Amino acid sequence: MSHLIIKEWKSLQEKILVRRNLINSLELSLALLGWALKFKKSNNEVICNLYADYFKYYERLNPHDYNFHKKWYDLDELLDTILGTNTNDYRRPIVIVRDILWEIIAFKTDILCENCGQDEYRLFESLQNSQDLVLCCDNCSHTIGLNNEFPQDIPNKYIPVKKNNLQLSKFNPSNFAD
């Protein structure tokens, strides 16, 4: 079982290595989502559960909505993480792919978390009303509703802010070079 995930991981690494100097964030996120999708309909229950736990969330998101011009991460570093991770632990690639997808898709602001001070907030929009925005900290889950004082159920009712959300222009991305 674990052998299958490691085999697919090596195949993903080879695919990305060939495109190393050409790949952009959109192409990378599509490649990672395509990789994850291979495990959705696996005959193996453990693999299916891994897919559900780590990747089902992304089914409702279209990577083309997250092709931001401003970047808050270093794409080269993300690629280095993928290409440099050679492991026999099948969970490592799953976690890395989930984390990199999150890094690319969830817009990170330059606003430091006022609760933990360890990370900057990511920006979310309500599925019902895209003008209803929420700041949320990855590190401690501290949440600030910008339009709604008590936002409820962020994982189900909010998604990472889309690039065409007009409100996004009011926010600066985190500066990864800091």
Q: Which residues bind Zn ion (CB under 5 A)?
A: 113, 115-116, 137, 139-140, 142
Which residue's CB is nearer to Zn ion, number 120 or number 132? Answer: 120
Kindly state the smallest distance separating residue 150's Cβ from Zn ion, in Å.
18
Which residue's CB is nearer to Zn ion, number 139 or number 156? Answer: 139
3-state secondary structure 101-139: HHHHHCCEEEEECCCCCCCEEEEEEECCCCCCEEEECCC
Instruction: In whole angstroms, give the CA distance from residue 2 to residue 86.
Output: 14
Which residue's CB is nearer to Zn ion, number 83 or number 111? Answer: 111
Kindly state the smallest distance separating residue 147's Cβ from Zn ion, in Å.
20
Which residue's CB is nearer to Zn ion, number 132 or number 138? Answer: 138
Say if strands 120-126 and 108-112 run parallel, antiparallel, or are unpaired: antiparallel
Kindly state the smallest distance separating residue 173's Cβ from Zn ion, in Å.
17
Contact predicate 6/85, CB 8 Å:
no
Residue 9 is inside which H or E element, if any? helix 2-18
Kindly state the smallest distance separating residue 151's Cβ from Zn ion, in Å.
16
